[in-house]
Amino acid sequence: MTDVLDGDIAALTGAYRSGQTSPVEVLEATLARVAQRNPAINALAHLDADGAAEAAHASARRWAAGTARSPLDGVPVTIKDSVNAAGMPWRHGCLAFDDVPDASVDAPPAARLKEAGAVIVGKTTMPDFGMMAAGVSSLYGITRNPWDLTRSTGGSSSGAGAALAAGIGFASVGTDIAGSVRLPAGHCGLVALKPTQGRIPHLAPSTMRSAGPMARTVGDATLLYDVLSRPDARDLWALAAESGATSPEPLSPNGLRIGVLTELNPGFAAEAAVAEVVGTAAAALAAGGATIAAMGPVFDRDPYPALDRVFAVRAVTELQSIPEDRRHLVHPVIRDWCASAADHTAADFTRDSEAVARSAETMRAACAEYDFVIAPVLPMVGFAAEVCGGDESHPLAHCGFTAWANQTAAPASAVCFGFAAGMPVGVQVIGPRLADRAVLRLTKWLETARGFDIDWPHPVAAGVGGTR
C-alpha cells in the first residue's frame, strides 16, 4: 500500500479500475499514515474519519459499478481550515474562533470536491487570519516542515504543505492572498497554482484572494485544478468555465520569450542559493529553445509598505469582529502588526489601495514584455519553524515575489527545481491573466526537465512536534 500512497493520482485510480485496491483500503492506509506522521508535523486541524469513510465506501461502490464520477473519485484529499465544509469546524487559524459553530454549507472548493467523489480526509492548519506566511498559529501551535522539523512550512496554507510533503493525501486545497499556496510549496518541495482571480470560485468573492490546488506533482495539481475551476454562481467574480480538460502534455518552451526576475526592487532580491536555482531553471528553458532575458528590478523603490497597510486593515477588521474579551487570544504578532491600522482613515485606505493598483500595473507591464516570467517563490531558503516570517514586525513582507501576482490577477505556479542545504527551493512561473492552463503545462515541462526525482521525507516525532 505504501507504493500506492506515494504514487500519483493516475496510478491510484488505475489501481481502483483494475481492482488492485479500493478507496476504502486507501483511506484506511491514509488514516494509518496520519497517525504515524502527523504528530511530528502538526499539519491537520481536523480529522473527519467518519465522513471520509462514508465517502470512500460510496466511491468504492461507484468504481465497482464502473460509474466513477471523475479522476478524483475516491482520492484522499485535504482542505484548508479556512475553506468551509458542511459539518466541519472553521477556525481561521485562531484560538479566538474556537467557539464558532461548525459550517453548515460547503464553500465552492469543498462542493466541487464532493461532486467529484473525492474523499475529504480533514482540514489543515493555518496561521491566525491567514495573515502570516509561516506555520505558527494561536490555536494549532507550530506546523513543522517534514524535510527538517526545525524549519518552517511557510504559509498560510501551512498544514497543506506539511501534509503533502509527508505523504498525507494526494492533493490539497489552499488559499492564496499573497503567496499562500505557492510559499508552502516552495518551502516543502511541492507544486501549487495561484489561479487567475475568478478562475476558481470561492467565498467570499475576492479580487485578491484565490483558492488554489496543491500537490506533489504537476499532473495531480492539474487534475485538482480542473475540478476546482468548475463554475459556482455564488462567486460573483467567477469567470466563465473553460471547455474540456487541461492537456496533460508539457508546454515546450521552444520559441517562447521568458523573463527571469530575481530582484524585485533595490533591497529585495533573491539570496545567492535561491538565485542559483532560478538560474538553473532558466538554463533548462534556454536549452529547450526559449529566448531568456534577465529582467532588471521592476520597481525603483519598495512598493510593499502600501500593500502591507492594506493587509493590516484587513487583519484589524477581522480582529475587531472578535468580542473584546477574546481578542487577546489572537496571536500577538498579528495583534501587534495590525494595531496601527485601527487608526487608518477611509482616505488613508483609499490612497494605499490606489498606490497598490499603480504598483500592480507596473508589475503587469513589466511581465507583459514576455510570454512567461520565472522568479523565486521566496527570497531565502526558509527560516525556523517558530518564526512568524522573514520580519516578524511585518509577517508578509518577505512575500514580494509572490504577492504582486495576486494584485495583477496573473496565474502563478510554484515547482521545486533544486535543493540548498537539504531544503527544497521552488521556482515560480508567472503567466498572463487567463493563461492558467499554459502556466500549468510550462510548469510540467520544468518538472520533467529538472533532472531529479524527489525522495519525500518520512517524518517521525522526536520531541519537536507542534507546540505553542
- pLDDT tens figures, 231-285: 999 999 999 999 999 999 999 999 999 999 999 999 999 999 999 999 999 999 9
464, part of any domain? no
Please list the ranges in the chain whose pLDDT falls under 50: 465-468
Same domain, 139 and 271: no
Q: What distance lies between CA 323 and its chain's CA centroid?
A: 30
Is 465 within a domain?
no
Burial class (CB in 10 A: 0-12, 13-18, 19+), 12: buried
Whether residue 370 lies inside any domain: the answer is yes
Contact partners, residue 250, CB within 8 Å, separation at least 6: 441, 442, 444, 445, 447, 448
Question: Which residues face 214 on adjacent strands?
Answer: 172, 192
Q: Is-contact 237 206, C-beta < 8 A?
A: yes
**269 strand-pairing partners:** 263
The letter for the amino acid at 141 is G
Residue type, 2: T
Q: Which residues carry out catalysis?
A: 80, 156, 180
Q: Rounded to an integer, what distance in angstroms lies between the CA atom of residue 215 and that of residue 76?
A: 12
Residues 212 and 268 in one domain: no
CA atoms within 13 A on the CB side of 102: 8
CA neighbor of 169 nearest in space, from 11, 328, 27, 380: 27
Beta-carbon count within 10 A of 148 CB? 17
**Structural domain of residue 410, as residue ranges?**
257-449
All three cell numbers of 210, joined, read: 484565490
- pLDDT at 1 (0 to 100): 78
CATH number at residue 415: 3.90.1300.10
pLDDT of residue 132: 97
Of 212, 229, 246, which one is at a domain's C-terminal end? 229
Question: Could you tell me if 41 and 88 lie in one domain?
Answer: yes
Question: Residue 460: its pLDDT value, please?
Answer: 86
pTM, 2 dp: 0.97
* The last residue of a domain, from among 229, 247, 271: 229
State the Cα–Cα distance between residues 293 and 238, nearest whole angstrom: 34
Handedness of CA 321, 325, 328, 329 (dihedral sign): negative
| Final residue in a domain of this structure, among 209, 229, 249 | 229
Residues 338 and 408 in one domain: yes
DSSP 383-402: -BTT--SSSTTSTTGGGHHH
* Rg (the chain; Cα; Å): 21
Q: Are residues 134 and 271 in the same domain?
A: no
Question: Given the C-alpha cell 505557492, which residue does it identify?
Answer: 182
Question: What's the pLDDT at 2?
Answer: 79
Q: Within a domain: residue 8?
A: yes
E-only strand ranges, 207-301 = 210-215, 257-260, 263-265, 268-269, 291-294
**Residue 108 and residue 180 in one domain:** yes
Please indicate, yes or no, if residue 468 is contained in any of the structural domains: no
In a shared domain, residues 212 and 331: no
Residues 176-211: pLDDT tens digits? 999 999 999 999 999 999 999 999 999 999 999 999
Q: Write down the residue that cell numbers 526537465 correspond to.
A: 449
Extract the C-alpha cell encoding 381.
531558503
Residue 463 maps to a domain:
no
Q: Does residue 385 sit within a domain? A: yes
* Overall number of domains in the chain: 2
Based on the domain organization, do 327 and 188 belong to the same domain? no
DSSP labels, 282-297: HHHHHHTTPEEEE---
Same structural domain for residues 168 and 263?
no
Q: What is the pLDDT of residue 461?
A: 72
Task: Count Cβ atoms below 10 Å from residue 35 Cβ, excluding itself.
Answer: 10
Residues 12 and 121 in one domain: yes
The dihedrals phi and psi of 210, each to the nearest 5 degrees, come to: -135, 145
Do the beta carbons of residue 178 and residue 403 sit within 8 Å? yes
Residues 6+ positions from 353 with CB-CB distance below 8 Å = 310
Q: How far apart are CA 465 and CA 37, in angstroms?
A: 10
Which residue's entry shows cell 490546488?
A: 213
Local structure of 254: helix, strand or coil: coil
Kindly state whether residues 306 and 262 are assigned to the same domain.
yes
In a domain, 402, yes or no: yes
| Helices and strands: H and E segment counts in the chain | 14, 17
Q: What is the pLDDT of residue 463?
A: 52
Residue 251 · residue 438 · CB < 8 Å: yes
- Alpha-helical segments (H) within 42-120: 49-65, 108-115
Does residue 44 sit in the same domain as residue 100?
yes
Identify the helix (H) or strand (E) that includes residue 366: helix 346-367
Identity of the residue numbered 397: A
How many Cα neighbours within 13 Å face the side chain of 198?
15
